[in-house]
């Protein structure tokens, strides 16, 4: 029976794959390059399989190496959780916290993150900002902020708030194209679409009665604030959160169309892997964000109420800075 794989070997392997370089992996691990190379060689010898094809300029995973990499990530995460379970015997929040959040416009969210980090000096906070939906189960993240109606199996969601999605368009666009009355009317209209799961262009919109409707897009973006601006500019019809478009509905820059025909509910939530216990740093972060959301929504409402409802130009300039903070913050 061969010797069991050592954790250091797994770390060297996964870090090398992530860094795509022995030298960069060694630098991140703060060990000599020869040490990383030696651990990789020892790992392949134990397994009796080639995991990486190494040349002078590149590193490429073999087929078996790709399978082993996914399992190694799961194993290392289990080791980290085991360590954290022991450290939960005291009240000190420490270790690593890996968070995925969408791009933010809200200065207050950044301030909340900085305040959170300052409260826990023994905690190393890693914040990944992207509209892409990262793989929480296998990607090494502890928690992610998302807007979605469906969750990946194996995840738990802490719902922060819900926001209905409504179809909107600019009056000038409707004057030129006509106002759609039924779902069939959308065939002659330009649709402004997002990206499903932050990756692929959308091809369907949800029906209020259930089911989906195929739509043809004329403009695509994974930034809902940009889709809102495109609708205001008269580029077409967009399906957006009510909280984002409310100031523009009040100002007259946008009007709702196909009420009762199109629509869904966007769930804004913190999602994290299902597990026997929740690490203290994850719990602390969830509590911090859950406390921030009501303050942000109140501030946004207060700011929007200060804007003159009839001033379209001012609504375009000021309302996005308030309402987009909450909605765009969850566009991933």
pTM, two decimal places? 0.59
Instruction: Give the integer Cα–Cα distance in Å for 308 and 253.
Output: 13
Q: What is the pLDDT of residue 147?
A: 75
User: Higher pLDDT residue, 276 or 202?
Assistant: 202
Q: Note the pLDDT of residue 302.
A: 54
Do residues 74 and 99 both lie within one domain? Answer: no
Q: How far apart (Å, rounded) are the C-alpha atoms in residues 191 and 199?
A: 18
Residues 27 and 77 in one domain: yes
Residues facing 219 on adjacent strands: 192
Q: What is the C-alpha separation between 178 and 189, in angstroms, rounded?
A: 9
The answer as to whether 31 is a domain residue is yes
Pair 170, 255 in one domain? yes
> Which structural domain range is residue 122 located in?
92-332
* Calpha distance 97→119 (Å, rounded): 14
Write a three-state SS string for 226-238. Answer: HHHHHHHCCCCEE
More confident residue, 9 or 279: 9
pLDDT at residue 39 in the model: 92
Over range 295-312, report the average pLDDT: 53
Contact (CB, 8 A) for 77 and 69? no
Q: What pLDDT was estimated at residue 93?
A: 82
The percentage of the chain sitting over the pLDDT mark of 90, rounded to a whole number, equals 31
Residue 329 confidence (pLDDT): 45
Task: Count other Cβ atoms within 10 Å, centred on residue 10.
Answer: 20
Per-residue b/e over 243-256, b at no fewer than 16 CB within 10 Å?
Answer: bbbbbbbbbebbbe
Report how far residue 23's alpha carbon sits from residue 58's, in angstroms, rounded to the nearest whole number: 11
Structure tokens at 242: 């009510």
CA 225, 229, 235, 237 torsion-angle sign: positive
The pLDDT tens digits for 164-177 are 899 999 999 999 99
Domain at 72, CATH number: 1.10.10.10
- Please report which confidence band the pLDDT of residue 304 belongs to, taking 50, 70 and 90 as the band edges: low
Would the pLDDT of 331 be above 50? no
Kindly state whether residue 271 falls inside one of the protein's structural domains: yes
- Domain stops at, among 35, 55, 86: 86
Report the pLDDT averaged over residues 268-272. Answer: 87
Chain segment 71-97, per-residue pLDDT in tens: 998 888 888 777 766 655 555 788 889
> pLDDT band for position 248 (50/70/90)?
very high
Is residue 170 included in any domain, yes or no?
yes
Contact 136, 272 (CB under 8 A): yes
Domain count, the chain: 2
The answer, yes or no, to whether residue 140 has pLDDT greater than 90, is: no
Close Cβ partners of 99 (under 8 Å, ≥ 6 residues apart): 125, 126, 127, 128, 141, 142, 143, 144, 145, 285
Question: Are 69 and 203 in a shared domain?
Answer: no
3-class secondary-structure state, position 3: coil
Q: Last residue of some domain: 86, 117, 139? A: 86
- Bigger pLDDT: 246 or 78? 246
Cβ–Cβ < 8 Å for 115, 295? no
Q: Dihedral through CA 321, CA 326, CA 331, CA 332, nearest 10?
A: 120
Q: Which two tokens stand for residue 277?
A: 């216990």
Same domain, 70 and 102: no
User: Nearest to residue 177, comparing CAs of 193, 192, 188, 166?
Assistant: 188
Note the pLDDT tens digit of each residue in 230-242: 999 999 999 998 9
Residue 158 C-alpha from the chain's centroid: 14
**C-alpha span between 132 and 195 (Å, rounded):** 9
């Amino acid at each position: 029976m061969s010797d069991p794989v050592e954790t250091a070997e797994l770390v060297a392997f996964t870090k090398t794959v992530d860094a795509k370089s022995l030298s960069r992996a060694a630098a991140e691990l703060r060990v000599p390059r020869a040490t990383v190379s030696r651990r990789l060689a020892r790992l392949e010898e134990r397994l009796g399989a080639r995991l990486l094809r190494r040349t002078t300029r590149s590193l490429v995973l073999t087929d078996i190496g790709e399978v082993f990499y996914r399992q190694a990530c799961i194993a290392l995460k289990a080791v980290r959780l085991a360590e954290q379970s022991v450290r939960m015997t005291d009240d000190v929040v420490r270790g690593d916290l890996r968070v995925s959040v969408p791009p933010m416009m809200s200065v207050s969210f950044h301030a909340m993150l900085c305040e959170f980090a300052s409260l826990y000096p023994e905690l190393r906070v890693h914040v990944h900002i992207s509209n892409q939906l990262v793989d929480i189960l296998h990607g090494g993240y502890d928690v992610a902020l998302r807007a979605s109606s469906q969750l990946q199996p194996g995840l738990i969601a802490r719902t922060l708030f819900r926001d209905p999605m409504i179809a909107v368009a600019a009056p000038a666009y409707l004057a030129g194209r006509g106002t759609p009355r039924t779902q069939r009317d959308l065939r002659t209209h330009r649709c402004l679409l997002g990206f499903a799961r932050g990756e692929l262009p959308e091809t369907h919109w949800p029906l209020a009665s259930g089911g989906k409707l195929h739509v043809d897009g004329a403009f695509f973006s994974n930034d809902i604030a940009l889709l809102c601006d495109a609708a205001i500019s008269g580029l077409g019809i967009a399906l957006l959160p009510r909280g984002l478009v409310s100031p523009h509905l009040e100002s007259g820059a946008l009007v709702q169309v196909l009420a009762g025909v199109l629509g869904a509910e966007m769930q804004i939530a913190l999602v994290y892997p299902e597990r026997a216990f929740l690490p203290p740093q994850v719990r602390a972060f969830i509590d911090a964000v859950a406390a921030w959301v009501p303050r942000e929504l109140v501030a946004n409402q207060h700011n929007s109420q200060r804007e003159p409802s009839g001033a379209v130009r001012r609504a375009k300039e000021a309302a996005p800075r308030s309402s987009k903070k909450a909605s765009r913050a969850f566009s991933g």
